[in-house]
Every structure is written in C-alpha cells, then in structure tokens.
Amino acid sequence: MDAGMTGVDRSADELLSDAMAVATDRDGLLELLKTSRKALAREPSMVALPARRLLVVGDLHGHLGAASWAVRELLARTDCHLVALGDYVDRGDEQLPTLALMLGLRLAESGRVTLLRGNHETPRMNDGYGFARAVLEAHGQEALDACHAAFAELPIAAHRQDGLLCLHGGIPGGARTVGDIGRLPKGGREPTDADVIEVLWNDPEERHGGFEPNLDRGIGMTFGQDATREFMARSGLWLLVRAHQPSPEGAVRFHGGRGLSLFSHPNYHGMANEGAVALVGMDRSVETLRVMPAGRGD
Ligand SMILES: [Mn+2]
C-alpha cells in the first residue's frame, strides 16, 4: 500500500484518521465544533461560489466511506470547489466521524469547501433519527449542544454567478428570485421561518404548476415544473442542484433538465441505490460520478 501512496492520498488519509480520532475524543470534538461554528458564522445565508468547477455532494447520512471518497476526489482535482448539500448525520452507522470529516475538510481546505444545511442539521430531526442518541451516548449534552450551535450557522444555499443554485431541498414558495433566498435567515437552531423550512424540505414533482403541500413528508411543499422554470428565468439560472431524495443511480435530472437531484449515500436503507456526486463546469458541463467507497460491497 505505502509504495503506491501519493501525497494526495496521504492527506486524505490524514483527514480521515483525524476525523475518526476526534469523533471519540470529547475535547477534540468540542474544539472542532467551536472552531467550525465561528468559521461558519462568517458566511452569509447564501454563499457566493467562486467561478470554478464544482464537485457537488448530496446526502451522506453518516456514510463515512462515501464522505471519504468525496474528500479523495476533491483533493485529486485541484481545480474544483466542493459544495456539500447537507444531511451529514442521522440514520447512518458513522454519523460523528462523517460530520467530523466534513467539518475538518472545510477547515483544512478553507476557501474551496462549502457546507450547506440539510433538514437533518436540526435538533428535532436529530432527536428522531439517531444523531442525538449517538452523540449523547458518546459525549453527553454539551457535545450535542455544540453540534446544534454549529448547524445553526450553516448556510442554506450557494449561488455561482453564471447561473447555478445549490440547496438541500428546493426553491421556496415565498422567494421569486435567488436574491430573495439570499435575504433569508439561516434559520437558527430549529428553523421556524417558512421559507427556510421549504429550502430544507421541498421536493420537485413532475407536474405542471407551482407549489402544493408536500403530503408525502407532511412538511414543506412540492414544486412543479412551472415554479422551477419561472424562478430560474427570473434569476438567470441554468441549473438547480439539490439533494434530499435517493434515486437508483444517485443522480437524476428533473423538470426538463433544469434540475439535478443528488444523493451520495449508496445502498441507503437497503434500497440498493447507487450514490453519486456531480462535477459542474464553468462551460455548463454536468458530469455525474458514481460514489465508490473503498473496501465496501455497496
Ligand atoms: Mn434531506
């Protein structure tokens, strides 16, 4: 192994071993969360992305193998900026190491990593889907509070000037343009702003029309093709990239190709789905890559 290992591999390995160590070290974890919270607090609700090729990562949900694969891809592609669309925790087997890896990556590669908030970066979801229990059992209430303080500072959207918008769920009914999303708050520990909740929760639906209650989830809205087309035209967008829903190949276009849904956790809940990330060039090229966690059958 060592003979074939490059410098790039080694630094990805170092980030991974740091993350695994910090996940079992309460003081180290508290320090990482505090440093991350302060760094994230300097970012606005909507991040202005650089005019560079993007590596966009969808839901990870505690899949450390998928997260480490994405880290390796970023470090091997020096022209890329990584945007992760949220849902780092809940449900998976390795939630704390996955969160620690993504936060550690953001600090180590600051300036070329943007972490967005998903609907699972909230206390209420963490209570119901496993993250709160995992953190409380390992490290206690102070550590869980520190996670939630950091989550509250995550930006909710990212915009690249040539016309690309990234967010976790979807466009909200209360926003006519990208500028309106930029004026939303980050949402606090438990978001109560209706448009912030919609950014984190909404799903596209292959129908005409606008916004309707999201009956499948019981929260947020669904948005139809007309909502997407009109919002994007008003905002000068050519692509909307969101996450939040698994698909067989991990990446699927919607609304006539205007939208792209990404999900990066392979074999989610035994669904036998693939995980995917996307490379989005400044030339409007969109390439999806299959997530290939090392040493795993899924
Ligand atoms: Mn989600």
Assign 4 a pLDDT band (cuts: 50, 70, 90): very low
Give backbone dihedrals phi and psi of 143, rounded to 5 degrees, phi first. Answer: -70, -40
Q: At residue 2, does pLDDT exceed 50? A: no
Domain boundaries, the chain: 7-61+78-97+111-272
Nearest residue to 154 via CA among 183, 128, 185: 185
**Residues taking part in catalysis:** 120
150 C-alpha to ligand 1 centroid (Å): 18
CATH topology for 7-61+78-97+111-272 is Purple Acid Phosphatase; chain A, domain 2 (3.60.21)
> What pLDDT sits at residue 9?
57
Assign 3 a pLDDT band (cuts: 50, 70, 90): very low
| Bridge partners of residue 176, in order along the sequence | none
Return d(Cα 81, Cα 110) in angstroms, integer.
Answer: 10
> What pLDDT sits at residue 294?
82
> What global pTM score does this model have?
0.95
122 C-alpha to ligand 1 centroid (Å): 11
What stretches of 42-185 show up as alpha helix (H) in DSSP? 64-76, 95-108, 123-129, 131-139, 141-151, 178-182
Return d(Cα 249, Cα 120) in angstroms, integer.
Answer: 22
3 C-alpha to ligand 1 centroid (Å): 40
> What pLDDT sits at residue 295?
60
Give backbone dihedrals phi and psi of 275, rounded to 5 degrees, phi first. Answer: -100, 150
Give backbone dihedrals phi and psi of 85, rounded to 5 degrees, phi first. Answer: -90, 10
Nearest residue to 260 via CA among 227, 291, 288: 288
168 C-alpha to ligand 1 centroid (Å): 7
